[in-house]
Chains A and B, each alone.
Chain A
Amino acid sequence: KAGVTQTPRYLIKTRGQQVTLSCSPISGHRSVSWYQQTPGQGLQFLFEYFSETQRNKGNFPGRFSGRQFSNSRSEMNVSTLELGDSALYLCASSLDRGQDTQYFGPGTRLTVL
């Protein structure tokens, strides 16, 4: 089976812009979770989607949003980018639940200038 894929792998944006990141889960996995990883805060949970519905949400401002499509592919969007949004954004998929074994993609490295 193909693993979790994320596009793009690297992204450079400027403050105030918006960005959309994409994630394709492992075939058959219905749960997709997103995490933000920074040196200072570590791995922070953003949200989890299941069957096109947001099932769980972390403590991030409304500038961070996401969605899931009927084929389980997911996108996350960050609007009005701030310098502090520079991070590695990781997507992970699991069979059914956000507490199951997570299979991670390689991540998207976002740099905000």
Chain B
Amino acid sequence: SQQGEEDPQALSIQEGENATMNCSYKTSINNLQWYRQNSGRGLVHLILIRSNEREKHSGRLRVTLDTSKKSSSLLITASRAADTASYFCATALIQGAQKLVFGQGTRLTINP
């Protein structure tokens, strides 16, 4: 089973609304990262949050991390059509290989 699992798998909202995506993971992490992917293209890094941090902001993005619940959320405020993309969380595990493990992603559609 996946280390990181996003919820929901797909989300469709109206432009201007806020979008919230969640990520749950199973084992202890060094950091958790969020990436965006436009259709069929490379991923773009959004935010990295370390295990000792609880919240980070970047523009219209807000990421929270709850290590006790092994979960993170990504909030996009005042969504725009250009935010339409797939969003992935990636976890950097403490144990094992020093790599990122990606979840299956949330497909976000912003309707004009």
Number of interface residues of B (CB under 8 A): 24
Chain A: residues with Cβ within 8 Å of the partner, total of 25
Q: How far is the CB of B51 from chain A (nearest CB, A)?
A: 11
Which B residues fall within an 8 A CB radius of A? Answer: 2, 30-31, 33, 35, 40-45, 48, 88, 90, 92, 97-105
Q: How many cross-chain pairs have Cβ atoms below 8 Å apart between A and B?
A: 61
Q: Establish whether residues B42 and A56, one from each chain, have CB atoms under 8 Å apart when the complex forms.
A: no
A-B contacts besides A98-B98, A107-B41, 16 pairs, CB < 8 Å: A4-B42, A33-B99, A42-B102, A43-B102, A45-B99, A45-B100, A45-B101, A45-B102, A98-B99, A98-B100, A99-B31, A99-B92, A101-B33, A102-B43, A104-B45, A105-B42
Cα distance, A33 to B92, chains bound together (Å): 14
Task: Report how far A107 CA is from B39 CA in the complex, Å.
Answer: 12
Residues of A in contact with B (beta carbons under 8 Å apart): 4, 33, 35, 42-43, 45, 48, 55-58, 88, 90, 92, 97-99, 101-107, 109
